[in-house]
Amino acid sequence: MHPLVEKILQGDTRSLARLLRSIDDRAGSYIEALTELYPHTGRAMIVGITGNPGAGKSTLTDQLVAHHRRAGKKVGVVAVDPTSPFSGGAILGDRIRMQRHALDEGVFIRSLATRGNLGGISRSTADTVRAIDAWGADVILVETVGVGQDELEIARLAHTTVVVMAPGLGDEVQAIKAGILEIADVFAVNKADRDGADSTVRDLEAMVAMGHELHHGGIRKGPHHGPQRVDMQALAEAMGDEWLVPIVKTVASKGQGISELVEAVEKHRSFLFDTPSGEARRRQRVEAELLNVFRSTLVERAVAALQTPLHAAASRVFDRTSDPYSEAEALVRDFASTVTAAPR
């Protein structure tokens, strides 16, 4: 057995931190540790918290941590900061705000920055979440800034994704794409004491209703963004077994709406575990999880095995005696023969 595994399963925080460092560095025998830990995962509820900068994700996350701690639950927080040279220190500042939980043994907080590794940030995030799950967290909150492909992938790895909006950030609801419905399981309209909160809620309701109509044919008459409100009750009934994305108003800075948000997330958990559509969602989640591990394993393995041929191929392309497409084909074959030639 991997030396850290037993201690992590006993809830030892320092051993968990050590494993996470190996995951970050993709060093040591972290894969063995994760393989051994895997049978002990699956207990934690993984909740993604995403949305535009300025929506108040970190304050909301902080309040969710406090709420779950009061209920005696162990909580993990993974904050993903996509390394952009432009993303700035905002997330760092947010982390400092979370410090009030730093001395709480029942909370484990981890920030992840893209390291430019080939596996990508979504692989590191998934590995980190699994390790924290095995450590015994009841809830794991994965906070991401809502930009880029990587983060959509991370959203796919959560059981429930909360999309956080704030009123007055421009006409953002109109601007956001329909794709948001693919990832949102719950909408939180944060800073709901500000002007425009109701109109944000109405816009989201219209969007949810419209998304439903796109899939199932209209149950609502009139223009999509008309002045009349959507009858969410009727919509919920029409949807039957399916999940209707709820919209919860919160004022995270004052702790308002947090219980309602937790309730919505728990309702989604029941949907996932108690309904056939929910089971289908959980299967999709596991498929995404496997694809994520497979893809990064494949690429890491190939690049490590082909250092010399890759370099030689690049020289040929540079000299224009070859092209990247033909070389990529040849390299795929090269890699395959290295793998099949290796002893099992």
Site for its own copies in 221-260 (CB under 8 A): none
Of how many residues is the chain composed?
A: 344
From 66-74, 194-202, 215-223, 321-329, give the range in contact with its own copies by CB under 8 A.
Answer: 321-329
- C-beta of 118 vs 219, nearer to its own copies: 118
Would you say 37 or 107 has its CB closer to its own copies?
A: 37
Min dist CB 116 to its own copies, Å, is 7
Dihedral (CA of 166, 171, 174, 176) sign: negative
Asked whether 330 and 338 are in contact (CB, 8 A), the reply is no
Are 55 and 166 within 8 A, CB to CB?
yes
- Candidates 180, 192, 197, 262; binder of its own copies (CB under 8 A) is 180
Sign (positive or negative) of CA dihedral 201, 206, 212, 215: negative
Q: Which of 222, 223, 227, 320 binds its own copies (CB under 8 A)?
A: 320
Q: Which is nearer to its own copies, 104 or 289 (CB)?
A: 289
Give the integer Cα–Cα distance in Å for 286 and 73: 24
Residues 19-78 that bind its own copies (CB under 8 A): 31, 34-35, 38-39, 42, 51-52
**Considering only CA atoms, which of 39, 204, 46 is closest in space to residue 128?**
46
Task: Name the segment binding its own copies (CB under 8 A); options: 189-197, 198-206, 247-255, 330-338.
Answer: 330-338
> Residue from 24, 172, 213, 260 that binds its own copies (CB under 8 A)?
172
Within 152-171, the residues that bind its own copies by CB under 8 A are 152
Closest separation in Å from C-beta 137 to its own copies? 18
- How many residues contact its own copies, by CB under 8 A? 81
- Please, what is the end-to-end C-alpha distance for the chain in angstroms? 21
Q: Contact between 276 and its own copies (CB under 8 A)? A: no
Which one, of 129, 161, 124, lies nearest residue 261 by Cα? 161
Question: Per CB under 8 A, which of residues 120..149 are in contact with its own copies?
Answer: 120-121, 146-149
Q: How far is the CB of 1 from its own copies (least distance, A)?
A: 15
Min dist. Cβ of residue 103 to its own copies (A):
28
Q: Which of 72, 179, 217, 227 binds its own copies (CB under 8 A)?
A: 179
Task: Out of 96, 214, 234, 303, name the contact with its own copies by CB under 8 A.
Answer: 303
The angle that helices 57-70 and 90-97 make with each other, rounded to 10 degrees, is: 20
Q: Give just the sign of the alpha carbon dihedral 97, 103, 105, 110.
A: positive
Exposed / middle / buried, residue 42 (Cβ in 10 Å: 0-12, 13-18, 19+)? exposed
With CB under 8 A as the contact rule, the residue among 67, 69, 73, 295 that binds its own copies is 295
Residue 302 binds to its own copies (criterion: CB under 8 A): yes
Report if residue 175 touches its own copies, rule: CB under 8 A: yes
Q: Are the C-beta atoms of residues 47 and 265 closer than 8 Å to each other?
A: yes
- Looking at beta carbons only, is 103 or 341 nearer to its own copies? 341
Residues 83-102 within binding reach of its own copies (CB under 8 A): 83-90
What secondary structure does DSSP assign to 180-209, as a single string? HHHH-SEEEE-STTSTTHHHHHHHHHHHHH
Using CB under 8 A, which of 56, 76, 82, 257 touches its own copies? 82
Give the count of beta carbons closer than 10 Å to the beta carbon of residue 312. Answer: 11
- Specify the pairing of strand 107-113 against strand 45-51: unpaired
